[in-house]
């Protein structure tokens, strides 16, 4: 599902730069920033560092998982996961435990995702084709 580009937490000024380049949704962003060559071209057009665009591409990739919004994506990022491929590499029990450790006291989201939710995310991730290429290697579980 595509979300408005500003939903990934980039702020209004940078979101406006992307909209000026014709990017209004997370899916459109992945189309234009999913691989390194396209990311470099986009970086030059919108005056945003390619490394920043790569981080945003990873977040947009995670947004393809049903039930994952910004707070939960930030929690996964805090655990070192950047893309759907990273998520697919984990086992549910290990990731659920890691997220509980990181989110202690609601640091990222009010309710820490439980084992069933995490297992569902991992299943979904395993069914999705990669959309972010030439990025960081998947984080091993």
Tens-place pLDDT, residues 64-122: 999 999 999 999 999 999 999 999 999 999 999 999 999 998 999 999 999 999 999 99
Residues in the chain: 141
For the whole model, what pTM was predicted? 0.90
At 46, the pLDDT band (50, 70, 90 cuts) reads: very high
For the chain, what are the domain ranges?
Answer: 5-62, 70-127
Average pLDDT of the chain is 93
**Containing H/E element for 75?**
helix 70-78
Least Cα distance to 127 among 64, 41, 82 occurs for 64
Evaluate whether 1 touches 60 at the Cβ level (below 8 Å): no
The C-alpha R_g of the chain, in whole angstroms, comes to 15
* Sequence-distant (≥ 6) Cβ neighbours of residue 136 within 8 angstroms: 54, 58, 82, 83
């Amino acid at each position: 599902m595509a979300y408005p580009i500003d939903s990934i937490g980039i702020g209004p000024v940078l979101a406006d730069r992307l909209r000026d380049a014709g990017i209004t949704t997370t899916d459109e962003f992945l189309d234009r920033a999913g691989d390194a060559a396209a990311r470099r071209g986009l970086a030059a057009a919108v005056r945003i560092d390619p490394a920043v665009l790569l981080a945003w591409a990873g977040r947009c990739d995670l947004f393809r998982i049903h039930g994952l919004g910004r707070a939960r994506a930030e929690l996964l990022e805090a655990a070192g996961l950047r893309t759907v491929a990273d998520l697919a590499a984990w086992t549910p029990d290990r990731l659920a435990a890691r997220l509980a450790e990181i989110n202690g006291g609601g640091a990222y989201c009010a309710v820490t995702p439980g084992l069933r939710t995490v297992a569902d995310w991992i299943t979904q991730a395993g069914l999705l084709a990669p959309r972010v290429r030439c990025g960081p290697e998947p984080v091993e579980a």
